[in-house]
Amino acid sequence: MRLTRTIAFWLLAAALLACHVIVIQHSLGARLWEDEAFNLTVPRNLLAGLGYASDGALSGSTITLFDPRISTGPTVLLPVAAVLAFGADPVIGARMVPLAFWVALIAGLAVLGRRTAGLWAALVAAAVPLAFNGLGSVSPIQGPTDLLGEIPAAALLVWALVVLPRRAWLAGLLVGLAVQAKLIALLALPGFAVALWVLAPGRGWQRIVQTLKRSWLPLVLVGTPTLLVEIAALVSMGPAAFVDHLRGLAWFVRGGGQHVAPTTVLQKIETLAGAWFVPPWVAIATAVLCLLLIAAGLLSARGEWSRGRMPRSSPSCSSRDRSRARSPSSAGGRRLRTHRCGCGIRRPGCSRSSLFS
């Protein structure tokens, strides 16, 4: 039975890999459309010595330094400039950067799935991006290699969640880089702050103090990439032009860069539900279920930490456990089956996977 499951798993994994390769191949050969072309002007101008500037297609057709209408940020466009500096084809070379982020996104989702519910959940998680309908919806995303910031931002946020329990500072830096990949990642900041609070131990004032102690560095690193970008803008543009740049950036963030009436929350939900290769009600039900599971997991872990214990899914090892891990024991002539717990030592009884390990 185990052999059958193993064969079935690897056959499905190979089929999933083939599906990803087909989608990537189609995306690489797709036409370069207007948003990608507009973003590509920034690394080309940077290499031409014109600074971090667009060609001004939306601002009077003049070179525009740190154009706020370029919502795909330096996290994506600076690596593109580095690739093009080696003489790569402008289109294919530029699309290699989003492709790398796509691979990182799939890997990060697989890690989260593995931690949550094992290998089969990892397979399901890695397949989720394929369910997104980039052609039949109003989304600007057409494929995984589009020179846009949405997929890189998603990949960085996923990996921020992966490293958050053990390296909160790195998670903060990844969230900051996600914001500078696509400004829509700003919507993740409240969730990141809540996650820092949930992960802090203790109760009452003790929890508040621990949250502040654990959060100041991650939150500083969240803002560091944006601070560096804006300092570069100030140095490049001068004070007066920089103020105009900030005003334009604020207008873009608040209005999405569109001169149209804002959509309602219900319209946003309808658009999101219709952006998948599944019926809208399935997408909504899946999203609600995922949110409920995440909330239940966070509350359960929070209760464990509040009582001064590690979550059951990631128990700590004693020194006795560590010594046993170095020389595994036997029972009845049979070797005990062990696996890793949260501290990295193999011991019997630990959970194989956890979202928080």
At 221, the pLDDT band (50, 70, 90 cuts) reads very high
At 283, the pLDDT band (50, 70, 90 cuts) reads confident
**Structure-model confidence comparison of residues 60 and 318, the more confident one:** 60
Q: Residue 153 and residue 164: Cα distance in Å, rounded? A: 16
Picking from 147-151, 245-249, 301-305, 306-310, which range would have the lowest pLDDT averaged per residue? 306-310
Sign, CA torsion 155/160/165/167: positive
φ/ψ of residue 44, rounded to 5: -70, -40
The confidence score (pLDDT) of residue 71 equals 84
**Structure-model confidence comparison of residues 354 and 96, the more confident one:** 96
* Per-residue pLDDT tens over the stretch 252-282: 887 766 656 667 778 778 877 877 888 888 8
* Per-residue pLDDT tens over the stretch 30-75: 888 888 989 999 999 999 998 999 887 777 778 889 988 888 999 9
Picking from 150-159, 201-210, 238-247, which range would have the lowest pLDDT averaged per residue? 201-210
* Per-residue pLDDT tens over the stretch 111-167: 999 988 889 999 999 999 998 887 665 667 788 999 999 999 999 999 999 999 899
Q: How many of the other CB atoms lie within 10 Å of CB of 74?
A: 24
- β-bridge pairing 346-347 and 334-335: unpaired
Q: pTM for this one? A: 0.81
Task: Quote the mean pLDDT of the chain.
Answer: 81
The confidence score (pLDDT) of residue 85 equals 94
Provide the residue ranges of all domains of the chain, joining segments of one domain with +: 10-262
At 343, the pLDDT band (50, 70, 90 cuts) reads very low
The confidence score (pLDDT) of residue 257 equals 62
At 314, the pLDDT band (50, 70, 90 cuts) reads very low
Helix (H), strand (E), coil (C) string for 232-270:
HHHHHHCHHHHHHHHHHHHHHHHHCCCCCCCCCHHHHHH
Query: DSSP code of 310?
Result: -
The confidence score (pLDDT) of residue 270 equals 80
* Per-residue pLDDT tens over the stretch 74-97: 999 999 999 999 988 999 999 999
**Structure-model confidence comparison of residues 174 and 212, the more confident one:** 174
* pLDDT over 90 at 16, yes or no: yes
The answer to whether 178 touches 74, Cβ cutoff 8 Å, is: no
- Who's near 273: CB < 8 A, 6+ residues apart? 280, 281, 283, 284
* pLDDT over 90 at 291, yes or no: no
Picking from 83-92, 221-230, 246-255, which range would have the lowest pLDDT averaged per residue? 246-255
The confidence score (pLDDT) of residue 219 equals 93
Longest dimension (CA), the chain: 81
**Mean pLDDT (whole number) for 302-313:** 55
